[in-house]
């Protein structure tokens, strides 16, 4: 029977890392996968996380199962961090999940089992795992336009036109709360208002992917788009992740948050979300959630964490600016200033698939085929080398 199983295609981004590891070029550079790296090229464990783990080793008294929806203290911190007092607490269900990916999958299962027939609208482009998760859950998906024809700006008019003319009432819409992946291009506050008005008018259910809180303009500032939406609609699902802003990638810690119009509707949906989790992974892993709760329970550790998030954000901004400035000095006449307003780990470089391929073949520099560069993977030390290589492929 197993002889009939065909080989699955490699993951488009993780497959690049396999090719990178096999590359013998001593100057190779991996700017594909979305992880933060410090000046020494490592993905560090935050100091506040190390301290929380020391405390957990001393204080943890059981490895018994968590509830289906996770650690209560963690869930309460997620609610406060993401929603503040913007939404009444009794309208929000928070379930701890294995990363943002797990949250997205639980949310997708919920849409399919509770709200079918339903389809979800995604930006074109979006994170490659979005359509993959929706497909796996059996959730039909379609796309709205997002990037302008120059591939360097957000075309809000095209997006609104697609939402106005293609969606049906009751459809879901996927939105990136900040640090749009893969483009790095976020709506302005006015554009968020336009989007929120359209979402409300078309009676769409927003599914908001909030994987990069703190990596755009700041932990509070990055809630602007989310809050603008929540002012316009009374139902939404928000998927959060602490992979990036706590550097807890491998601990798998996120949350699926459902906002209902009232407490009764929230309770019913919460019970369905729990049923989905129970038959999927039963209950979430404790460690990552316990780390986050330990940090956010302690004012000093919380301040330390905020400082560490700021350092990561500022480093990314500095590298993005350095890249634009250094590209100017290569004398190839291509202005990358359009990157400056971009936010988060990624930047859409505008490089063509052929140029991306040349970067890999001739220079050992790995970026995603769409031209997405992981800015958080750049380094001051290798900036000149990177820019010389980009200049060479632009000129060839």
Residue 198 or 243: the one with the smaller Cβ distance to ligand PMP is 243
Tell me how far CA of residue 249 lies from CA of 55, 161, 202, 244, 367, in angstroms.
20, 37, 36, 7, 20
Tell whether residue 241 is a contact of ligand PMP (CB under 6 A): yes
Characterize 259-297 residue by residue with b for buried, 16 or more Cβ atoms within 10 angstroms of its Cβ, and e for exposed.
Answer: bbeeeebbeebbeebbebbeeebebbbbbbbbbbbbbbe
Q: What gap in Å lies between CA 156 and CA 176, rounded to an integer? A: 14
As measured in angstroms, the least distance from the Cβ of 79 to ligand PMP is: 18
Over the window 298 to 337, marking each residue x when it contacts ligand PMP by CB under 6 A and - when it does not, the resulting string is ----------------------------------------
Tell me how far CA of residue 199 lies from CA of 284, 287, 351, in angstroms.
32, 37, 32
Among 101, 108, 198, 294, contact with ligand PMP (rule: CB under 6 A): 101
Residue 60: CB atoms within 10 A of its CB come to 13
As measured in angstroms, the least distance from the Cβ of 354 to ligand PMP is: 25
Among 99, 184, 225, 289, contact with ligand PMP (rule: CB under 6 A): 99
- The catalytic residue among 37, 69, 109, 127 is 127
End-to-end Cα, the chain, rounded Å = 50
Among 171, 209, 308, 322, contact with ligand PMP (rule: CB under 6 A): 209
Contact indicator for 270, 258 with CB cutoff of 8 Å:
yes
- Site size toward ligand PMP (CB under 6 A) is 13
Among 16, 31, 32, 34, contact with ligand PMP (rule: CB under 6 A): 34
Tell whether residue 100 is a contact of ligand PMP (CB under 6 A): yes
As measured in angstroms, the least distance from the Cβ of 239 to ligand PMP is: 7
Among 152, 167, 213, 243, contact with ligand PMP (rule: CB under 6 A): 243
Is 218 in a helix, a strand, or coil? coil
- The catalytic residue among 69, 171, 186, 209 is 209
Residue 125 or 364: the one with the smaller Cβ distance to ligand PMP is 125
Choices 61-69, 86-94, 97-105, 143-151; region in contact with ligand PMP by CB under 6 A: 97-105
What residues contact 349, with CB distance under 8 A and at least 6 apart? 336, 339, 367, 371, 372, 373, 390
Q: 21: which 2 tokens?
A: 């590891």
CA dihedral 41, 153, 341, 364 (to 10 degrees): 20
Tell me how far CA of residue 68 lies from CA of 73, 104, 264, 291, 296, in angstroms.
14, 16, 20, 18, 22
Residue 128 or 200: the one with the smaller Cβ distance to ligand PMP is 128
Among 152, 167, 181, 355, contact with ligand PMP (rule: CB under 6 A): 181
| 95: phi then psi, degrees, rounded to nearest 5 | -120, 125
- Which among 85, 109, 82 is positioned nearest to 94, based on CA atoms? 82
Tell whether residue 184 is a contact of ligand PMP (CB under 6 A): no
Tell whether residue 211 is a contact of ligand PMP (CB under 6 A): yes
Residue 96 or 241: the one with the smaller Cβ distance to ligand PMP is 241
As measured in angstroms, the least distance from the Cβ of 8 to ligand PMP is: 19
Residue 244 falls in the annotated catalytic set? yes
Residue 127 falls in the annotated catalytic set? yes
Calculate Rg over the CA atoms of the chain: 21
- Which among 195, 108, 200, 192 is positioned nearest to 144, based on CA atoms? 195
Q: Which residues bind ligand PMP (CB under 6 A)?
A: 34, 99-101, 127, 176, 181, 209, 211, 241, 243, 249, 254
Q: Which residues are catalytic?
A: 127, 209, 244
């Amino acid at each position: 029977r197993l002889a009939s199983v065909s080989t699955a295609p490699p993951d488009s981004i993780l497959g690049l890392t396999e090719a990178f590891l096999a590359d013998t070029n001593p100057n190779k550079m991996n700017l594909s996968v979305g992880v933060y790296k410090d000046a020494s090229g490592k993905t560090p464990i935050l100091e506040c996380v190390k301290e929380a783990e020391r405390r957990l080793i001393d204080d943890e008294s059981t490895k018994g199962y968590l509830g289906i929806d996770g650690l209560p203290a963690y869930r309460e911190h997620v609610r406060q961090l993401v929603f503040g007092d913007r939404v009444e607490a009794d309208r929000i269900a928070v379930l701890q999940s294995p990363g943002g990916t797990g949250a997205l999958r639980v949310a997708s299962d919920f849409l399919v089992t509770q709200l079918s027939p339903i389809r979800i609208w995604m930006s074109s482009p979006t994170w490659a795992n979005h359509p993959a998760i929706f497909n796996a859950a059996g959730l039909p998906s379609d796309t709205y336009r997002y990037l302008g024809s120059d591939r360097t700006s957000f075309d809000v008019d095209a997006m609104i036109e697609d939402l106005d003319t293609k969606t049906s009432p009751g459809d879901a819409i996927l939105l990136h709360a900040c640090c749009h992946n893969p483009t790095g291009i976020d709506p302005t506050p006015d554009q968020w208002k336009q989007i929120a008005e359209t979402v409300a008018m078309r009676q769409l259910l927003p599914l908001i992917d909030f994987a990069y809180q703190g990596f755009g303009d700041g932990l509070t500032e990055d809630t602007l788009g989310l809050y603008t939406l929540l002012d316009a609609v009374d139902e939404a699902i928000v998927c959060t992740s602490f992979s990036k802003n706590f550097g807890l990638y491998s601990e798998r810690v996120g949350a699926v948050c459902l906002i209902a119009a009232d407490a009764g509707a929230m309770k019913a949906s919460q019970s369905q979300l729990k049923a989905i989790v129970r038959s999927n992974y039963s209950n979430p892993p404790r460690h990552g959630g316990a780390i986050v709760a330990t940090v956010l329970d302690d004012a000093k550790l919380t301040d330390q964490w905020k400082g560490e998030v700021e350092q990561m954000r500022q480093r990314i901004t500095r590298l993005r600016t350095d890249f634009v400035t250094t590209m100017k000095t290569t004398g190839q006449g291509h202005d990358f200033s359009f990157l400056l307003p971009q936010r988060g780990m990624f930047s859409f470089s505008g490089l063509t698939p052929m140029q991306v391929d040349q970067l890999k073949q001739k220079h050992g520099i790995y970026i995603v085929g769409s031209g997405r560069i992981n800015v958080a993977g750049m380094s001051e030390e290798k900036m000149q080398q990177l820019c010389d290589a980009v200049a060479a492929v632009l000129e060839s």
